[in-house]
Chain A
């Protein structure tokens, strides 16, 4: 550190002169001082949202690169790139550009694979973050508002993930689009017209790739940026929650200041997230569209699986018994129930949860201190049950692969999974609820024992904060 004093001084002078330049014209020194002093609690689970944020940054950076090479067009072209097995094959311009980007553009494959991995991690981090918020009660007033912004971000992220991998027009993604067309078609009253409008006509339509492209690179990302800003702005305004502890109360925040500690930690986290994503994109192959081949509506691959965040829907489609409603010359198709109603109810329940819980508990207070999951056995049990349900659906999404790997019949496995999806959540929910109660009771005994011990030793110390132990 010594020997750099001159450099340090010059550095300081530059910073100061820059700051003065801005402040002369805009003002805001006080705002900057307050912002730099903003306190962020230190807890590992608080980083999940940041991981999502930084995955999004990586998505934008790699995505911009990809747009420079991708061509959203169903135009028929003949492939003449470096990937020999496809030579002379008639493909769409979209597929050709995706394969060319992967094989003929330097570091194109890296960018594409990092982009896809970042999308998977983005969704994973969002879901984990949502779980953290749910199980610790961080969604309670005043953060119920921000909870709804967050749920909207999850919906947008899923939509954009699907739109993104549908752009490549390979056999796998084309089949996914075909299913999505049928899903839209299944909506009562307006489904067939809606499907025609979204796709620009009867399936397969030449318009859909261009439309998906605009949705994927402009509309949804812009919405995500706006809502992310609102999400973060509300966090700044309302400040972070924190777990109870010595000196940590409803009316304060204890942690690191934004500058320098928190900023440095956060930048370090960004570099770590980016490093992991780049490593995955570099060495773990993902979505090799040249192996799947171009989309042909009359062909299909076996063992077709969507990206993981669509897996629960895929599973719901497979587990749904062959029922549909037919009456008075109309049909509510089978597809409507697992593919429209289920996600609709899922996200409705997520949006409404803070208000539903308030109705049950009659707790209308402002909360800045977090719950420990064990202290809310009913909520924790319910959350565990819901998670179990969606995990079973997710597993069912690969039921054919599991059955063929294990050498059992798909039909038998499907029946087992149908009942598992209904029964296992109840069992897990009850077990988790009881486990929470046992843990909380254990904490109480420990506290009593400590209080007795303190008494016996004749110390005048106050009893430890109940929420700290355990």
Chain B
């Protein structure tokens, strides 16, 4: 026996809403008993889907269809209205003889206040003042690991890598983070003037990518290249960390190394050029 369409529709819509009620009640129980992310998600989704289906069916089959027509009035106002609006706006303007000058003063005054209101922007932070050009490395400062222990050249195996920071109370990685690599003998081709920057194969570069500032965290020992995992720039460690692929345009700055009387690695000086990405004022 076929039901008539109205009965069938009422049955479907009713079933959808009953689904919502059941799922909603179940959700309350799950939540009350301690919650469970997946179940909560599924039950709430089912409850909402019941609403969607029920209301959707109701709208589709039991509400007036899409044949309503509405006329479109022109958007533009009539010429009279426009003229009236303009004359209303300009009313009274003929009284003052020095209107133009006053308006200019008003404009200038508003601009001055506006500019004055911009000054608090300056409070947001300090000006760079050369902060970008130096780090916490100084002559004689030891290279220490993240846990604060100093490093001797013998502590590193060949092709070993460790991230180091300048010794001192401030251990924040900031712009001083440096990657220390021990190269096999004879592979490094130092740049002119950097012949004594390497100690027993240990070579140190800024760990901040010169492209976008990510830590250059991956070392491919067989090719002696550092990889920046963010944008895939490659740096040739044995060739002054020259960028050999990817978007980086500048070599990683090299930290000049020395060994102190106790045999620990120390910096000969700060980096000799700014670390990290370039900016307008960088030559």
Identify the A interface with B (CB < 8 A).
Answer: 1, 37-39, 41-42, 106-107, 109-110, 113-114, 142, 175, 178-179, 181-183, 185-193, 195-205, 207, 237-239, 247, 250-257, 260-261, 264-265, 267-272, 274-276, 278-283, 296-304, 314, 317-324, 326, 329-335, 338-339, 366, 368, 399-400, 410-411, 414
How far is it, in angstroms, between the C-alpha of A235 and the C-alpha of B139 when the chains are bound?
67
Contact of A301 (CB < 8 Å), options: B35, B44, B229: B229
Interface contact A281-B41, CB-CB below 8 Å: yes
Interface contact B214-A300, CB-CB below 8 Å: yes
Interface contact B212-A182, CB-CB below 8 Å: yes
Stretch from B52-60, B95-103, B108-116, B255-263 at the A interface: B52-60
How far is it, in angstroms, between the C-alpha of A189 and the C-alpha of B280 when the chains are bound?
6
Interface contact B211-A256, CB-CB below 8 Å: no
Interface contact A201-B126, CB-CB below 8 Å: yes
Chain B CB within 10 Å, residue with most, of A1, A297, A368 = A297
Q: Which residues of B contact A280 (CB under 8 A)?
A: 41
Instruction: Enumerate 25 A-B pairs (CB-CB under 8 Å) in ascending A order.
Output: A106-B35, A178-B212, A182-B213, A189-B280, A191-B279, A197-B122, A255-B66, A256-B64, A267-B55, A268-B53, A269-B56, A279-B45, A280-B41, A296-B173, A304-B229, A317-B231, A331-B280, A331-B281, A332-B280, A333-B279, A334-B211, A334-B249, A400-B229, A414-B232, A414-B246
Interface contact A192-B40, CB-CB below 8 Å: no
Interface contact A265-B59, CB-CB below 8 Å: yes
Interface contact A268-B59, CB-CB below 8 Å: yes
Q: Which residues of B contact A38 (CB under 8 A)?
A: 70
Least CB distance from B234 to A in Å reads 8
Interface contact B212-A193, CB-CB below 8 Å: no
How far is it, in angstroms, between the C-alpha of A38 and the C-alpha of B72 when the chains are bound?
11
Stretch from B127-135, B153-161, B181-189, B195-203 at the A interface: B127-135
Determine whether B105 belongs to the interface, using a CB cutoff of 8 Å to chain A.
no
Interface contact A264-B278, CB-CB below 8 Å: no
Q: Check A323/B214 contact, CB under 8 A, given A196-B128, A254-B67, A278-B48.
A: no
Residues of chain B from 209 to 231 with CB closer than 8 A to chain A in the complex? 211-215, 217-218, 229-231
How far is it, in angstroms, between the C-alpha of A338 and the C-alpha of B132 when the chains are bound?
23
How far is it, in angstroms, between the C-alpha of A311 and the C-alpha of B200 when the chains are bound?
43
Interface contact B75-A238, CB-CB below 8 Å: yes
Interface contact A302-B66, CB-CB below 8 Å: no
Interface contact B45-A400, CB-CB below 8 Å: no
Least CB distance from A135 to B in Å reads 22
Interface contact A192-B132, CB-CB below 8 Å: yes
Least CB distance from A412 to B in Å reads 10
Given A185-B277, A275-B45, A366-B75, 6 further pairs, Cβ under 8 A: A42-B66, A192-B279, A296-B173, A319-B247, A322-B249, A333-B282
Determine whether B125 belongs to the interface, using a CB cutoff of 8 Å to chain A.
yes
Q: Can you name the residue of chain B whose Cβ is closest to the Cβ of A318?
A: B231
Contact of B41 (CB < 8 Å), options: A110, A196, A297, A400: A110
Q: Which residues of A contact B177 (CB under 8 A)?
A: 297-298
Q: Can you name the residue of chain A whose Cβ is closest to the Cβ of B163?
A: A298
- Write out, one digit per residue, whether chain B residues 33-47 have a CB within 8 A of any chain A CB (1) or not (0): 011011111101111
How far is it, in angstroms, between the C-alpha of A329 and the C-alpha of B232 when the chains are bound?
28
Q: Can you name the residue of chain A whose Cβ is closest to the Cβ of B248?
A: A322
Determine whether B146 belongs to the interface, using a CB cutoff of 8 Å to chain A.
yes
Interface contact B38-A302, CB-CB below 8 Å: no
Interface contact A300-B229, CB-CB below 8 Å: yes
Interface contact A278-B64, CB-CB below 8 Å: no
Q: Which residues of A contact B63 (CB under 8 A)?
A: 256, 260-261, 264
Contact of A107 (CB < 8 Å), options: B37, B64, B279: B37
Chain A CB within 10 Å, residue with most, of B31, B39, B56, B146 = B56
Least CB distance from B239 to A in Å reads 15
Q: Check A203/B213 contact, CB under 8 A, given A256-B68, A301-B229.
A: yes
Contact of B72 (CB < 8 Å), options: A197, A253, A296: A253
Interface contact B44-A256, CB-CB below 8 Å: no
Q: Which residues of A contact B94 (CB under 8 A)?
A: none
Interface contact B146-A298, CB-CB below 8 Å: yes
Q: Which residues of B contact A399 (CB under 8 A)?
A: 232
Contact of A411 (CB < 8 Å), options: B46, B175, B229, B245: B245
Q: Can you name the residue of chain B whose Cβ is closest to the Cβ of A410?
A: B232
Interface contact B52-A304, CB-CB below 8 Å: no
Contact of B40 (CB < 8 Å), options: A110, A175, A183: A110
- Write out, one digit per residue, whether chain B residues 157-183 have a CB within 8 A of any chain A CB (1) or not (0): 000000101000000111101000000
How far is it, in angstroms, between the C-alpha of A1 and the C-alpha of B9 when the chains are bound?
12
Interface contact B41-A279, CB-CB below 8 Å: yes
Determine whether B26 belongs to the interface, using a CB cutoff of 8 Å to chain A.
no
How far is it, in angstroms, between the C-alpha of A461 and the C-alpha of B271 when the chains are bound?
87
Q: Which residues of B contact A238 (CB under 8 A)?
A: 75
Q: Which residues of A contact B75 (CB under 8 A)?
A: 142, 237-238, 366
Interface contact B72-A239, CB-CB below 8 Å: yes
Determine whether B283 belongs to the interface, using a CB cutoff of 8 Å to chain A.
yes
Contact of B281 (CB < 8 Å), options: A253, A268, A330: A330
Q: Check A297/B125 contact, CB under 8 A, given A110-B37, A271-B48, A275-B48.
A: no
How far is it, in angstroms, between the C-alpha of A368 and the C-alpha of B70 when the chains are bound?
13
How far is it, in angstroms, between the C-alpha of A261 and the C-alpha of B172 when the chains are bound?
61
Interface contact B40-A107, CB-CB below 8 Å: yes
Q: Which residues of B contact A189 (CB under 8 A)?
A: 280
Contact of B59 (CB < 8 Å), options: A179, A247, A264, A278: A264
Determine whether B21 belongs to the interface, using a CB cutoff of 8 Å to chain A.
no
- Write out, one digit per residue, whether chain B residues 58-99 have a CB within 8 A of any chain A CB (1) or not (0): 111001111111111001000000000000000000000000
Interface contact A272-B246, CB-CB below 8 Å: no
Determine whether B124 belongs to the interface, using a CB cutoff of 8 Å to chain A.
yes
Determine whether B207 belongs to the interface, using a CB cutoff of 8 Å to chain A.
yes
Least CB distance from B268 to A in Å reads 22
Q: Check A271/B215 contact, CB under 8 A, given A186-B279, A251-B71.
A: no
Contact of A196 (CB < 8 Å), options: B48, B127, B277, B282: B127
Determine whether B238 belongs to the interface, using a CB cutoff of 8 Å to chain A.
no
Interface contact A256-B65, CB-CB below 8 Å: yes
Interface contact A282-B38, CB-CB below 8 Å: yes
How far is it, in angstroms, between the C-alpha of A297 and the C-alpha of B214 when the chains are bound?
8
Determine whether B117 belongs to the interface, using a CB cutoff of 8 Å to chain A.
no
Leading 9 A-B pairs by shortest Cβ distance: A282-B41, A264-B59, A271-B52, A275-B48, A268-B56, A279-B45, A39-B70, A272-B52, A333-B278
